[in-house]
């Protein structure tokens, strides 16, 4: 292929990947693969200066602007950073700078963790918050102020005094690993496709026109854009001001002299980064002196005084033994790669989601292939690509539709989506999933009603929905395998006792999409009645802290179904608790209205026991520490949450103090 044709092809590929990454937040290739494409294009363009294709993507900032948001011009352009993956290129960066400053043998650098999130610019005028704007195309971005104005990391007013008249604070908005795992677990439970990594989920979340809902985002501030008057001399000064102003800054920084010391700092970061509560994919190295930064200058897309060193993703080759499926309680059928176990990022990986049929086709994944596996965001295992050199000669493309038919799964592809969903309402696989969830400890907690028993009840057509459980007779249960008089009596009594379970357990057991255990507790605490919840408007629902537009719509759609209305009526006829009185002891309890975060291992309480005590005292738990947190209950091996609590001034208590607090 001629250089001219290859340049045209690379530009087309990069434009497509930019659209997927910046606007659709669904990238198909890794950052390293993308950077390799841009590097190849830059090299070809440099070797063929006579070929004019117009503006090149190698000289432009990616564009994340979408319709539906007002556009705002940055006071100072928000440029991207040049990337490198090896020590030699990092030292070349230092060599170029020392040519600009020949009298300096060891330049002052600041080394920061590179958090893989979404770039944001926060404007403050006379210390008061004005707006939040995305990077956009570097010159102007989307105004996302309405979506983020209540984010704990964005104070309405800066602390202290002596603020500039106007300052653009550069920040990265991101999602903690724990929150990312929580959202994916709830999506998996609801039969929805999981998100590939925290960065994609964060980008999609802040661009939701309805706001961020119940997704918890964090913010780290690392620099400034326009600043009038400029009151700083070094990058280190900016970080100190960020902390003094009450903003969240980097939890770890290295101020060093010379590139050797900078490299040692990068190596140290690589050693400790897995301890962070968020995904860190590299380091940013900046010249610390602001006057020297201006002298070093900029290219059309990046500063010459800073560079990003990116850690190579941990990958491994292994055998894809088979493709199986996972069926969610809403009937979505998700393909799963069954792998020969392999060590990756400190854990053994034996399964990886394949997301959907299109993913299988695009990567041409087949059982028996040798595949390259990577942990996306160091959390979710994913199949990157197939090693075609190791593919057997007789291998055939995988036919997902035919596979589902062979498995006896009656499903159809959802129009306009990549997902397949069970067709029959009485599909036994989906019914088993729903009933197992309904009876689980996280929901109605019906003892002795596990998967094996549910399988028998469904296969013998004794139960077709949750209400049928309460019709079961002693004779029917006695007829099940391995059931005697004692075990039969235990199960019948457990089913009967579940009628008096707390309201939140019933709400969770119903399997409403996007509604997990914590959301169920919030809904029960707010409405105290299932009929009232069923009649609630979207506005009523969104008024509840933690309920966003997507969840509100899912709740309304679920209760609007005639099938579900009939189910609720039958459960009510069986005597299940549909309402609960306001517990005055709870509403006036020692933790009423308080939020508690648990971290570490407590001496004599399990996490579930501590959570129950908090709720009984009127409080609620949260998975992350913010300025809205009232207490952090810390045990042994408490990690970053404890550090965050100290940083924010949140009160930290041990188990003894907690017991005294709740009485």
- CATH number of the CATH domain containing 118: 3.30.470.30
Residue 64 in domain: no
Helices (H), 324-427: 357-363, 400-406
Q: Which domain holds residue 50?
A: 3-59
CATH number at 35 reads 1.10.287.610
Residue 594's CATH number: 3.40.50.10190
630 with 515, same domain: the answer is no
Q: Which of the listed ranges 9-13, 150-154, 187-191, 292-296 does the model predict with the highest average pLDDT?
A: 292-296
pLDDT band at 472 (very low <50, low <70, confident <90, very high): very high
Least confident of 11-20, 40-49, 114-123, 334-343: 11-20
- The count of domains in the chain is 5
Are residues 434 and 518 located together in one domain of the fold?
Answer: yes
Give yes or no: residues 291 and 364 share one domain: no
Do 279 and 147 fall within a single domain?
Answer: yes
Query: Span 599-618, mean pLDDT?
Result: 83
562-573 and 549-559 are packed helices; what angle lies between their axes, rounded to 10 degrees? 70
CA separation for the pair 395, 374 (Å, rounded): 24
Residue 334 lies in a domain: yes
**CA pair distance 470, 476, nearest whole angstrom:** 12
Q: How many CB atoms lie within 10 A of CB 408?
A: 9
- Pairing verdict, β 306-310 and 83-84: parallel
Assess whether 30 and 52 both reside in one domain. yes
**More confident of the two residues 375 and 604:** 604
pLDDT at position 313 is 73
Q: Is the dihedral of CA 427, 429, 434, 439 positive or negative?
A: positive
At 337-352, the pLDDT tens digits run 999 998 876 668 898 8
> Beta-strand (E) ranges in 135-272?
140-142, 166-174, 218-228, 254-257
578 in a structural domain: no
Long-range contacts of 156-163 (CB under 8 A, 24+ apart): 156/128, 156/129, 157/127, 157/128, 157/129, 158/124, 158/127, 158/128, 158/245, 158/246, 158/247, 159/244, 159/245, 159/246, 160/244, 160/245, 160/246, 162/231, 163/124, 163/126, 163/127, 163/245
- Judgement on whether residues 319 and 279 belong to the same structural domain of the protein: no
| CATH number of the domain bearing residue 557 | 1.10.150.20
Q: Which of 361, 391, 422 is the last residue of a domain?
A: 422
Q: Is the pLDDT of residue 503 over 60?
A: yes
> Quick one: 434 and 508 in the same domain?
yes
Lowest mean pLDDT among 51-60, 378-387, 592-601: 51-60
pLDDT digits 0-9 by tens, 324-338: 988 766 677 889 999
For 395, residues 6+ apart whose C-beta sits below 8 A from its C-beta are: 366, 368, 369
> pLDDT digits over 382-430, tens only?
898 999 999 999 899 999 999 998 988 888 887 767 778 887 666 777 7
| Last residue within a domain, chosen from 543, 573, 603 | 573
Residues 444 and 492 in one domain: yes
Whether the CB-CB separation of 566 and 467 falls below 8 Å is answered with: no
Q: Which neighbouring-strand residues pair with 383?
A: 373
Query: With contact defined as beta carbons under 8 Å apart, do 233 and 289 qualify?
Result: yes
171/208 same-domain check? yes
Predicted pLDDT at 493: 95
The residue among 330 and 288 whose pLDDT is bigger is 288
The arithmetic mean of pLDDT across residues 567-584, rounded, is 88
Which stretch of 184-198, 251-265, 548-562 has the lowest confidence by average pLDDT?
184-198
Kindly tell me if the per-residue pLDDT of 378 is higher than 70: no
Residues 434 and 411 in one domain: no
Please state the rounded mean pLDDT for residues 59-69. Answer: 73
Same domain, 396 and 453: no
Give the pLDDT of residue 18: 73
* pLDDT 10s digits, 20-37: 666 665 666 666 677 778
Question: Above 70 in pLDDT, residue 207?
Answer: no
Contact 329, 437 (CB under 8 A): yes
Identify the domain boundary among 263, 295, 310.
310
Tell me what pLDDT residue 509 has: 93
Spatial distance between the Cα atoms of 84 and 96, rounded to a whole number of angstroms: 15
The DSSP secondary-structure symbol of 21 reads: I
Checking if the pLDDT of 256 tops 60, the result is yes
- Is-above-0.75 flag for pTM? no
- End-to-end CA gap in the chain: 77
In a domain, 12, yes or no: yes
- Per-residue pLDDT, averaged over 157-176, amounts to 92
Considering 114, 286, 301, 310, which one is annotated as catalytic? Answer: 114
Task: Quickly count: other Cβ atoms within 10 Å of residue 245's Cβ.
Answer: 19
Is-contact 51 3, C-beta < 8 A?
yes
Residues 306 and 319 reside in one and the same domain? no
pLDDT at position 117 = 86
Residue 579 within a domain: no
What are the helix (H) ranges across 499-561? 503-509, 517-527, 530-535, 538-542, 549-559
Residue 655 lies in a domain: yes
Looking only at the bridges linking them, the beta strands covering 595-599 and 631-634 are: parallel
Tell me the pLDDT band of 211, cut-offs 50, 70 and 90.
very low
More confident residue, 607 or 288: 288
Work out the average pLDDT over 633-637. 83
- Whether 149 is a known active-site residue: answer no
Residue 287 burial by Cβ neighbours in a 10 Å radius (0-12, 13-18, 19+): buried
Rg (the chain; Cα; Å): 28
Check residue 522 and give its pLDDT: 85
Q: How many C-beta neighbours within 10 Å does residue 597 have?
A: 22
**Assigned domain for 108 exists:** yes
Range list of H helices, 101-176: 145-148
Exposure class string for 368-382: b at 16+ Cβ within 10 A, else e? ebbbebbbbbbbbbb
**Distance (Å, whole) CA 322 – CA 96:** 51
């Amino acid at each position: 292929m001629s250089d001219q044709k290859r340049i045209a092809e690379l530009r087309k590929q990069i434009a497509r990947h930019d659209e997927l990454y910046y606007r659709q937040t669904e990238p198909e290739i890794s950052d390293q693969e993308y950077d390799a494409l841009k590097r190849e294009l830059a090299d070809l363009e440099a070797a063929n200066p006579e070929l004019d294709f117009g503006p090149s993507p190698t000289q432009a900032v990616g564009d994340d602007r979408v319709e539906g948001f007002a556009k705002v011009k940055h006071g100072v352009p928000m440029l991207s950073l040049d990337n490198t993956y090896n020590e030699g290129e990092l030292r070349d960066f230092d060599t170029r700078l020392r040519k600009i400053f020949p009298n300096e043998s060891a330049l002052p650098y600041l080394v920061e963790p590179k958090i893989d999130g979404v770039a944001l610019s926060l404007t403050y005028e006379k210390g008061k918050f004005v707006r939040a704007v995305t990077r956009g195309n570097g010159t102007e971005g989307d105004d996302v102020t309405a979506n983020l104005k209540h984010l704990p990391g964005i104070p309405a007013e800066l602390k202290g005094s002596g603020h500039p008249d106007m300052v653009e604070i550069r920040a990265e908005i991101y999602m903690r690993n724990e929150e990312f795992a929580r959202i994916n677990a709830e999506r998996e439970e609801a039969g929805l496709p999981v998100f590939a990594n925290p960065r994609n989920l964060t980008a999609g979340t802040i661009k939701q026109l309805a706001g961020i809902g119940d997704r918890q985002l964090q913010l780290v501030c690392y620099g400034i854009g326009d600043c009038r008057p400029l009151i700083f001399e070094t990058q280190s000064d900016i970080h100190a001001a960020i902390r003094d102003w009450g903003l969240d800054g980097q939890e770890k920084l290295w101020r060093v002299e010379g590139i050797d010391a900078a490299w040692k700092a990068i190596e140290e970061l690589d050693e400790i980064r897995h301890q962070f509560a968020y995904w860190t994919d590299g380091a940013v190295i900046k010249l610390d002196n602001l006057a020297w930064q201006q002298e070093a200058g900029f290219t059309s897309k990046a500063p010459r005084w800073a560079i990003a060193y990116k850690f190579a993703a941990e990958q491994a080759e292994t055998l894809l033994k088979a493709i199986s499926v996972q069926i969610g309680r809403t009937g979505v059928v998700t393909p799963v790669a069954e792998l020969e176990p392999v060590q990756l990022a400190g854990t053994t990986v034996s399964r990886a989601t394949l997301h959907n049929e299109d993913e299988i086709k695009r990567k041409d994944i087949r059982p028996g292939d040798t595949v390259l596996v990577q942990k996306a965001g160091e959390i979710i295992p994913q199949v990157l690509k197939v090693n075609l050199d190791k593919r057997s000669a007789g291998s055939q493309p995988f036919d997902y539709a035919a596979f589902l038919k062979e498995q006896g799964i009656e499903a159809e592809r959802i129009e306009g989506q990549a997902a397949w969903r069970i067709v029959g309402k009485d599909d036994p696989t989906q019914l088993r999933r729903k009933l197992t969830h309904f009876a689980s400890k996280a929901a109605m907690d019906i003892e002795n009603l596990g998967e094996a028993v549910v399988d028998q009840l469904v296969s013998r057509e004794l139960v077709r929905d949750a209400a049928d459980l309460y019709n079961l007779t002693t004779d029917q249960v006695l007829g099940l395998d391995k059931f005697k008089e004692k075990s039969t009596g235990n199960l019948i009594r457990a089913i009967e006792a579940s009628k008096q379970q707390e309201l939140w357990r019933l709400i969770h057991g119903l399997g409403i999409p996007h509604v997990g255990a914590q959301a169920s507790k919030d809904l029960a605490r707010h409405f105290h009645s299932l009929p009232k919840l069923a009649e609630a408007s979207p506005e009523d629902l969104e008024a509840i802290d933690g309920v966003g537009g997507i969840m509100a719509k899912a709740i309304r759609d679920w209760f609007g179904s005639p099938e579900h209305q009939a189910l609720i009526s039958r459960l009510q006829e069986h005597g299940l608790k549909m309402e609960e009185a306001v517990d005055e002891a709870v509403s006036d309890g020692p933790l009423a209205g308080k939020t508690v975060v648990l971290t570490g291992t407590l001496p004599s309480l399990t996490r579930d026991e501590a959570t129950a005590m908090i709720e009984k005292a009127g409080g609620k738990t949260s998975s992350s520490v913010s300025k809205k947190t009232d207490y952090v209950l810390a045990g042994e091996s408490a990690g970053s949450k404890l550090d965050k609590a100290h940083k924010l001034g949140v009160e930290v208590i041990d188990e003894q103090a907690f017991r005294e607090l709740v009485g």
